[in-house]
Amino acid sequence: MKRMILFLWVAVFALCSTAFGEEPKAKLLLGYPWSTWGEISETMVGHTEKGFKLDGYAEQGIDWFKLGNTDLTFNTFLGIRGTVSDRASDFWNNKVGPWVGFKFKQTLNIGEGHWGEIDFGARWEYYRYFRTGPVLGSNNDNRAVLFLQWNLGGDWKRNE
């Protein structure tokens, strides 16, 4: 079942990017936003999660339409997240899995030189844990998540 859902989402993304010519694509879909984040870290002092960790996420979405006369954009997305550490006992830091979901995105106007967006939606996550510790075995995780997410940034110097 999980593989079928993943296959269907990949098929939808592939069809949307190839089935429409350049003219209809511009009229039917607003955009194909992507994003990624990652971090490599080394915790040297502390009681838990000592050592090396690589954590990252990549997402490809489709902006379908705006709601009425608002700037609220409906988006569907497919992502993948992975975390790897050098400690097998930290099972939560040794996982990989897909994310599939939808969200409503609102761009925030917070002044020149600054940017912001607030998103709310739902996603399905599946994690395959590897290098698991002796206590938990190889428990994988399947979950549905409701979320409210914000991204803000800017440059204080640009306000002068």
- For the entire predicted model, the pTM comes to 0.74
Question: Is position 6 within any domain?
Answer: no
Question: Is position 8 within any domain?
Answer: no
For residue 22, the model assigns a pLDDT of 47
Q: For the domain that residue 64 is a member of, what is the CATH number?
A: 2.40.160
Mean pLDDT of the region 80-104 = 91
Instruction: Provide the domain limits for residue 37.
Output: 29-159
For residue 18, the model assigns a pLDDT of 45
Over residues 8-25, the pLDDT tens digits come to 555 555 545 544 444 444
Integer Cα distance of 82 and 10 in angstroms? 19
**Total domains present in the chain:** 1
For residue 20, the model assigns a pLDDT of 45
For residue 79, the model assigns a pLDDT of 97
Question: Is position 40 within any domain?
Answer: yes
Is residue 147 over pLDDT 60? yes
Question: Is position 62 within any domain?
Answer: yes
Check residues 3 and 58 and name the one with the higher pLDDT: 58
Over residues 45-86, the pLDDT tens digits come to 777 777 899 999 999 999 999 998 988 999 999 999 999 998
Over residues 38-54, the pLDDT tens digits come to 999 988 877 777 789 99
Question: Is position 24 within any domain?
Answer: no
